Structure 1
Amino acid sequence: MIKNRKIATKLLTLNIISVFIIILFTFIGIDTSLKDRDNTENLILCADRIYVELSEHFNIENTNNKNYIESLKKEYNNLEIIIYDKNENIRLKTDGVDEAKIDLNQMQYIMRNKNGDFNPFMKEYKLIDNGQTFELVIFKYRSSNSTVESYIMRILFPIIIVLIIEYLIIRRKVKQLIYITDGIITMSNENLEYRLELNSNDEFGILSHEINKMSSNLKIKIDNERNMYKLKNELIANISHDLRTPLTSLIGYMEIAKNLDLKLEEKNDYIKKSLEKAERIKILICELFEYSKLESGEVTINKIPINIIEMLEQTIGEYSNLAYNNYLDIVKLYKEFEIITNIDGNIMIRVFENLLDNAIKYSKKNSKIYIDVINDENYSIITLENTMEESIECDSNMLFERFYRGDKSRNQKISGSGLGLFISKSIVDLHGGEIHIETEGHRFKVYIKLPKG
């Protein structure tokens, strides 16, 4: 299970930042709108103050009126000021007004229909000076950036920016997902050598790595299955040959033995040869039966304390004649007479028989087979060393594979199913032990390590 969900963390962080930015800019927009000197509320307030100022200090005859209203304009947000009489003659105005006579209706019409980048403001008042009534018009052409639309844009801008950033991030992740999907499709088309190259520390990176690992493991399994299928075919061919040859000889010898004209000595010789062929067939069938049981997991072991030296002596005694006939000497290097080990003797004896049989089959003529036992505190270690006719040119671990028989050209004349070492390793594994092979040139040495307990 992935503990650090980096994509989820990134998206959560991005959403938190997005909400923060939106809230921040919203407050900024509201604050800006409140502080905007050209907002309507502020302009009304300024216009009212100008009116109050003029109501208190205005005198149409005062020669300083021009400077006075200009100072009011500067003080109150650059509002334009017009004072006109009942005949619509402008009596006083700020510099921003060009007209000498005012048409209020036309001015209101213009204000209402002003186009472009302006949002006009206008307010009217009445002034009384020395019994005369004057009209006061205060107005301003405001820039449209002070309108409600500008405030909305100030809020929408950060939202748009956040959406763009989220889109770019999600787009990148979608691209990675599409890349992974295409890679899986490529692998599913039996291209298991294809590898995803995604340098990312998030879940997509982990997913790519795991898919690559899965593809690699699957390729190894498929290759192993293909090799196994090939080896099985070879086994069938080998077993067929190894069964057919002695079976043909057996039938031939029995046919000859039926001949009534043969002497008793000759008949006994043919019967002996027939028994040898029958024994060879029996060994092959037994190996196949043992392999089948080990593969199905039906084999159970019953460990009891057994003197492993005695078991070795028994095996050596059974194979000494075969070794002698092949011009081989079996040399016992161990000195102990008793090493007690908890094993199932009924199946462990098969291991010793397989190893010694292989050593006799493949050893160089007129050489020696060395057998030794090391009495370790917790383990019994058995070694068997011989000199091969030819050097081993493969990984020694391959020798433990089922149906493997090494170089075919060298082993065509040597009977066997290729199951002996596989069976031996399976039995040793069932005992919780270890078995491995060391080769150096023509030297071949097998190590078996069995726990005593």
Structure 2
Amino acid sequence: MIKTLKEKKYNLIFGVIIGFVLAQIILAEGYAILVSRQQEIAFMSTDLMKSFNNPLKILSGIIFIFTVILFNTKKFIKFNLDRIGSYLILVVLVSITVAFEVTFIVFLVGIKMFPNWQYYMENNYFISINIFYIICFIGVSVFLITFILLVNIKVRYIKYLTKEVQVIKNEGFGKTIDVRGGDELSELCKSINNMSLELGKKIENEKNIENNKNELITNISHDLKTPLTSIIGYLELLNSNGINENDKEKYISIAYKKSLRLKELVNELFEYTKLSGSDIKLVKDKVNISTLLNQAVGESIINFSEKNIEVFLNNPYSEIFCEADSTQILRVFENLIKNAEKYSNSDSVFKVTVAVNNKNVLISLSNKCKEIMEKDLENIFEKFYRNDKSRSEEGSGLGLPIAKRIIELHNGRLWAEKTGDNVKFNIQLQSIA
């Protein structure tokens, strides 16, 4: 519908322009004939001139109306007059009109300046042929000058586009070009801008991926190197002579624990990589997350008691059902609890509270820990991030990012906040009936 209206608009414009040009030509030719006849018949009266004048105007009006109607018939509307094509046609028509009008004015001025022009034309072939050439030269020159001036408007914009595309090529994607007008060139400019912005984003994303990959390799190398070096060291001790049985058992036990630690690091890395993929699929079902939370907290009490940390669970709900992957949600609880075990101060309290408001489930886990800055809270869910810059604490730095990613896959939220000396992790999920 919109396309049809645009086509009709262009056809109406061209019909009016061409009709006007044809009407002007008819009037000009008619007046030229009348002037010529008046000079031949010196006694032609003014009334007779007026009697010819009115039919000329009527004829030119009929031609104008007929041309407009003709250009708006179905056959003409079917022609694909795009905006550049329309502009070029308009340029040609305007150039022809200007050339014709200028030539006609020059002709009339010549007649006024040389009243006996007809005598010279009839009696001197050389003068007549040169006058014809001069008139043609003037008409063609005016046409070409007008055409070049009007077309040069678009040519300058094309040169500008070419220059700006070269700038984008040299300086990098992400730059944009000024859009001028509303024709196909402006649409091309918009397409170039969109391409530049999209490629700029992709290149920036590729750089981030490359940086993340390098960071990943660096951190993995560091985290895997520590337990691996310990295992190799203890195995070398076991391979040496003069070790008593007690030391041998001790070294074997330590090497075994280090190998378990190495396995844990590899598993967490694999889990994070899998969760970061775009093709991850969760096995969701109707899950009682209240039971999962009670289970995870209950299993951690012994570990907390070793550091004289009291566990306080405030969960008044026996049933809170969510559509979730039970294995992954349990992993979230375990990761957050392990984080509290690792960083909680001795002789403190680990508190877990549950609140339900309409269908919003809020689970909060808070613990007192070493001093942590607000800026550290902003980065705490970044992979491999640790508040311990020296990386002396054991851990992959992937537990919290894994937990956050799992919650996001469940369309929930996980965030951290500082309340006094405590750090609180909040999980928000949607419950179902």
Q: TM-score range by the shorter chain?
A: 0.5 to 0.7
Q: CA deviation at 1:76?
A: 11
Correspondence for 1:22: 21
Correspondence for 1:352: 333
Correspondence for 1:288: 269
SS in 1 for 2:164: helix
Query: d(CA) in 1 for partners of 2:174 and 2:4?
Result: 29
Q: CA deviation at 1:191?
A: 2.5
Matched, 1:119 2:117: yes
Q: Note the alpha carbon deviations across 1:270-311, whole angstroms, 9 max, x for none.
A: 444333212211111111222333345554322233321221
Contact 2:286 2:322 in 1 (8 A): yes
**How many percent identity over aligned positions?**
28
Query: d(CA) in 2 for partners of 1:6 and 1:27?
Result: 31
SS in 2 for 1:393: helix
Correspondence for 2:70: none
SS in 1 for 2:28: helix
- Superposition map of 1:417-436 within 5 A: 417-431=396-410, 433-436=411-414
Query: d(CA) in 2 for partners of 1:247 and 1:419?
Result: 19
TM-score, structure 1 normalization:
0.62
Query: d(CA) in 2 for partners of 1:369 and 1:195?
Result: 54
Over 3 Å counting, the alpha-carbon distance change for 1:222 and 1:327 in structure 2 is farther
- Superposition map of 1:234-273 within 5 A: 234-256=215-237, 262=244, 264=246, 267-273=248-254
Matched, 1:405 2:385: yes
The root-mean-square deviation of aligned C-alpha atoms, in Å, is 4.8
Query: d(CA) in 2 for partners of 1:249 and 1:353?
Result: 27
Contact 1:435 1:446 in 2 (8 A): no
Correspondence for 1:437: 415
Over 3 Å counting, the alpha-carbon distance change for 1:395 and 1:346 in structure 2 is closer
Over 3 Å counting, the alpha-carbon distance change for 1:299 and 1:76 in structure 2 is closer
Query: d(CA) in 2 for partners of 1:234 and 1:76?
Result: 98
Q: CA deviation at 1:209?
A: 5.0
Q: CA deviation at 1:237?
A: 2.2
SS in 1 for 2:211: helix
Correspondence for 2:73: none
Query: d(CA) in 1 for partners of 2:339 and 2:392?
Result: 14
Q: CA deviation at 1:324?
A: 4.5
Matched, 1:279 2:260: yes
Q: What is the one-letter code of the residue matched to 1:252?
A: G
Max Rg structure: 1
Over 3 Å counting, the alpha-carbon distance change for 1:185 and 1:301 in structure 2 is same
Higher strand share: 1
Matched, 1:450 2:432: no
Query: d(CA) in 2 for partners of 1:191 and 1:271?
Result: 57
Contact 2:320 2:431 in 1 (8 A): no
Question: How many pairs are equivalent?
Answer: 359
Q: CA deviation at 1:445?
A: 4.0
TM-score, structure 2 normalization:
0.65
Correspondence for 1:232: 213
Which ranges in structure 1 are unaligned for 5 or more consecutive residues? 50-71, 78-114, 123-138
Q: CA deviation at 1:23?
A: 1.6
Query: d(CA) in 1 for partners of 2:150 and 2:118?
Result: 44
Query: d(CA) in 2 for partners of 1:357 and 1:333?
Result: 19
Q: Note the alpha carbon deviations across 1:327-371, whole angstroms, 9 max, x for none.
A: 655443332233222322122222222233334445566654443
SS in 2 for 1:241: helix
Over 3 Å counting, the alpha-carbon distance change for 1:303 and 1:251 in structure 2 is same
Q: CA deviation at 1:29?
A: 0.6
Query: d(CA) in 2 for partners of 1:364 and 1:206?
Result: 63
Higher helix share: 2
Contact 1:364 1:389 in 2 (8 A): no
